[in-house]
Amino acid sequence: MLIRIDTASAEPLYAQIVRAVRQGVARGEIRPGDRLPAARELAQSLDVNMHTVLRAYGELRDAGDIELRRGRGATVVARRVANSKVSKAVEQLLEVARQSGVSLEELHEALDEGADR
C-alpha cells in the first residue's frame, strides 16, 4: 500500500492518510483481514505526529473501514457496496471495461484519477 502525503496541501494530513488507506483497499493492495501498519510505525515512516495517524485510524474505524482492537492493531474490514444504484453502476462499468479490453488495473487507475479531480 502506497501512502503519499503532501505537507503543503490544504487537505489535513490525517485526511490524506484516510484517503491513501481507502485507495489501497480499493486497489486490492490491502485485503480484508490484513493489518494496517502500527500507528507508531506509520507515524515514524511518514515523519508525522502519532496523533495524526491515530486520528486517521479513528476516522476509518468510525466509517466502518477498519477495526481497532487492543493487541491486534488496525484490521481492514470486508465491506459490500450497500447502495443498489452504485452496485448496478459497478456492474455496468465492469461490462463496458470488459468489452473495451480495459484491464482492471487501468480501471482502478481511471477511478483514482477521477476521485482525485
The residues that touch other proteins, with contacts defined as CB under 8 A, are 1-8, 27-29, 34, 36-37, 41-42, 45-48, 103-105, 108
Q: How far is the CB of 117 from other proteins (least distance, A)?
A: 18
Residue 46 or 60 with smaller CB distance to other proteins: 46
Q: Report the C-alpha gap between 57 and 67 in whole angstroms.
A: 9
Amino acid at 40: R
Smallest gap from residue 76 Cβ to other proteins (A): 12
CA distances from 108 to 6, 93, 105, 114 (A): 22, 11, 5, 10
Backbone angles phi, psi at 68, to 5 degrees: -115, 120
C-beta closer to other proteins: residue 62 or 106: 106
CB of 111 to other proteins, least distance (A): 12
Nearer to other proteins, 20 or 82 (CB): 20
Cβ proximity to other proteins, 71 vs 82, nearer residue:
71
Kindly tell me the burial class for residue 34, based on how many C-beta atoms sit within 10 Å of its own C-beta (0-12, 13-18, 19 or more). Answer: middle
